[in-house]
Amino acid sequence: MKQLLAIFLTAILTENYILDKFLGICPFLGVSKKRDSAIGMSIAVTIVMVISTAVTWPIYYGILVPNGLDYLETIVFILVIAVLVQFIETVLKKYIPTLYNALGVYLPLITTNCAVLGVTMLVLDKHAANPTTFGYAQALMNAFGAGIGFLVALVMFSGVRERIELNDVPKFWRGLPITLVAASITSLSFLGFSGLVTGMLGVS
């Protein structure tokens, strides 16, 4: 339990997928302008991350590795994610129209979101490093934490961007450059969390 909590917090704070691993920068810069769309996008990303990790892990260890096909990892994973995103979109449209209206517009963008493919591959690396302690449940927790970390970064940053809008920025720094500098400072603040989880819970 403690270990799961540690994995969850690590994924949010010290290994934040956007601010530390640079995965999912495109939506981070694109969708963080309005808080509502930031929240909608992050929830959709979290759902897709957890479900795709839940599906790709058994495929990798159940089908690819026993047959010596692990070099097909990239192709299989991206296709699984693309299919899943389409599937989730269809299911939501059919059965939960309210949720579809809220999240539907973000779903097609997620297929090629690096963070989703990144999380499904990084949990495999983590399993390879610690085969005994890092299993399926831990991988799912890691994916969930990564999604929540995405949410935290996007929501925090949308607040920062609202402030920037009101400032008088030099001409050539307007738009993207100043946003990146703000992202740099936000990411700096997350460096302060390094070592926090290990120190607090006593597990790495």
Partner 1 sequence: MAVKKKNSLWHEFSKGIVKENPVLRLVLGTCSALAITTTAMNAIGMGIATTFVLVCSNAIISLLRKIIPDKVRIPCYIVVIAGFVTVVQMLIEAFSPSLKTALGVYLPLIVVNCIIFGRAEMFASKNPVMPSILDGLGMGVGYTCTLLCMGIIRELFGSGTFFGMPVLSNFIPSIIILLLPPGGFFIFGLLVAIANRLSGEGKAPEEIGCAGYRGCGSCELANGCSLTAKKNDGEAKEK
Interacting residue with partner 1 among 52, 56, 113, 138 (CB under 8 A): 113
Residues 115-134, interacting with partner 1 (CB under 8 A)? 117-118, 121-122, 125
Buried-exposed string 12-48: b where 16+ CB fall within 10 A, e elsewhere = bbbbbbbbbbebbbebbbebbeeeebbbbbbbbbbbb
Distance of CA 76 to the CA centre of its chain: 19
DSSP 167: S
**Which residue number, 137 or 174, has a Cβ lying nearer to partner 1?**
174
**Which residue number, 7 or 19, has a Cβ lying nearer to partner 1?**
19
> Smallest distance from the beta carbon of 1 to partner 1, in angstroms?
28
Q: What angle do CA 202, 15, 23 make, to 5 degrees?
A: 165
Beta carbons of 19 and 151 less than 8 angstroms apart: no
Residues 61-100, interacting with partner 1 (CB under 8 A)? 71-75, 78-79, 82
Nearest-angstrom CA–CA distance, 98 and 111: 22
202 φψ region: left (φ > 0), alpha (ψ -120 to 50), beta (else): left
Interacting residue with partner 1 among 3, 4, 5, 21 (CB under 8 A): 21
User: Is 188 a residue that touches partner 1 (CB under 8 A)?
Assistant: yes
Radius of gyration from C-alpha coordinates of the chain: 18
> Smallest distance from the beta carbon of 182 to partner 1, in angstroms?
9
Interacting residue with partner 1 among 4, 20, 35, 102 (CB under 8 A): 20
**Which residue number, 5 or 78, has a Cβ lying nearer to partner 1?**
78
Site string for partner 1, 159-178 (x = CB under 8 A): ------------xxxxxxxx
Nearest-angstrom CA–CA distance, 14 and 20: 7
Contacting residues toward partner 1, per CB under 8 A: 19-27, 29-34, 37, 71-75, 78-79, 82, 105, 108-109, 111-114, 117-118, 121-122, 125, 171-181, 183-185, 187-188, 190-191
